[in-house]
Structure 1
Amino acid sequence: MTSRVGLFYGSSTCYTDIAAEKIRDELGAALVDVFDIAEHSLTLANRYHRLIFGIPTWDYGELQEDWEAAWPALNDIDWSGKSVAIYGLGDQLGYPDWFQDAMGYLWAHIAKSGGNMVGFWPSTGYDFRASQALTADGDLFVGLALDEENQFELSEERIALWCTQIRREFGLA
């Protein structure tokens, strides 16, 4: 297994892709391998101890098409000994009752399967009604929540802060 970080994402509109590139650059391109799940199998995650997944929420809390197609492969990954961080993209004003739901679905699946989940993010500073991606107390998202539709101006700072956090949580600091 490699000491590098595997970053896997699905994207239809390029925003999750752009965020993946920013996260790679922030953590260091020499440390992060980036995979578009439309072109690479999720089972490549078995090669890594440290993983980042990027997942957008579509419409009314739905999975993006690449994630929907790749979802069964999550069961073919051995999650033991893996530290996993997730970032999600969503539209908090257009879909306030389903904000970041796909990130919550992915988190629940991996956590239940034995992954060590890191990268929780404060839920303050957002305007939504409900989300499947919140911790039980509602204080944190289960990963970095990005909204390129309504808060694009905050994304770079959020990514930088989150990368500092997960670098520490991954034991890379």
Structure 2
Amino acid sequence: MSKIGIFYSFHTNKTSKVAEKIIQALDNENLEVVNAEEVTEENFLQFDKYIIGVATWWDGELPNYWDELVPAIEDMDLSGKTFAIFGLGDQKFYPENFNDGVGIFAELVESRGAKVVGHTSREGYNYEKSRAERGDNEWSGLCLDQENQARLSKGRIDKWVETLKKSGF
């Protein structure tokens, strides 16, 4: 059995609530919940599959709780590891970098040899630009906007989790 970790900051209100919904919907006894603010390089590398929760801060940045681990990831070999990334953004007030955090993290782990799964449709969003864009009409993960489209989140989460289950999560 693959060891699966879900990483997010326990101190983020909206990302934590989304993570809890994902955990409940996934219902996998092999899933270990890890606080992104306390993860070490050794702890991070013990998993085969990862679900990463990232918000997008300010003008398209990863939250500062990733500051310690990102430089270490830049030196890791993540070949054979699979990542699914979800994030929150605000397409109304930050349309020029909506959910960049998802794209930044996907780019990071792919550059280290990892496979990213759980791409979702960009249909139904209204924004200008995003590093999370993938191909013609996909996101590189699950992109949510709890500020402007909260009513759509449950359906998007449920559909994404079903995709993850098909990918062995």
Same fold (TM over 0.5): yes
Residue aligning to 1:10: 9
Shift of 1:43: 3.9
Shift of 1:76: 5.1
The one-letter code sitting in structure 1 at the alignment partner of 2:145 is: D
Residue aligning to 1:162: 160
The one-letter code sitting in structure 2 at the alignment partner of 1:150 is: N
Structure 2 CA distance for aligned equivalents of residues 114 and 40 of structure 1: 20
The one-letter code sitting in structure 1 at the alignment partner of 2:116 is: M
TM-score of the aligned structures, taking structure 1 as reference length: 0.90
Contiguous gaps of at least 5 residues in structure 1: none
Residue aligning to 1:142: 140
The one-letter code sitting in structure 2 at the alignment partner of 1:119 is: G
The one-letter code sitting in structure 1 at the alignment partner of 2:148 is: N
Larger CA deviation: 4-13 vs 44-53: 4-13
Change (3 A) 1:63 1:11: farther
Residues 1:22 and 2:14 are matched in the alignment: no
Change (3 A) 1:96 1:42: farther
Instruction: Compute the RMSD of aligned alpha carbons.
Output: 1.7
Structure 2 CA distance for aligned equivalents of residues 42 and 144 of structure 1: 25
Structure 2 CA distance for aligned equivalents of residues 44 and 146 of structure 1: 27
Residue aligning to 1:48: 47
TM-score of the aligned structures, taking structure 2 as reference length: 0.92
Shift of 1:32: 1.4
2:74–2:108 Cα contact (<8 Å) kept: no
Structure 1 CA distance for aligned equivalents of residues 129 and 77 of structure 2: 31
Q: Secondary structure at the match of 1:127?
A: coil
Q: Deviations over 1:107-158 (max 9, x none)?
A: 0111111001101010001110110110143x10000001111111111111
Structure 2 CA distance for aligned equivalents of residues 9 and 76 of structure 1: 21
Shift of 1:73: 2.6
Shift of 1:29: 5.0
Q: Secondary structure at the match of 1:62?
A: coil
Contiguous gaps of at least 5 residues in structure 2: none
Structure 1 CA distance for aligned equivalents of residues 127 and 118 of structure 2: 20
Change (3 A) 1:48 1:106: same
Structure 1 CA distance for aligned equivalents of residues 41 and 87 of structure 2: 17
Q: Secondary structure at the match of 1:48?
A: coil
Aligned-residue identity in percent: 36
Residue aligning to 2:91: 92
Residue aligning to 1:62: 61
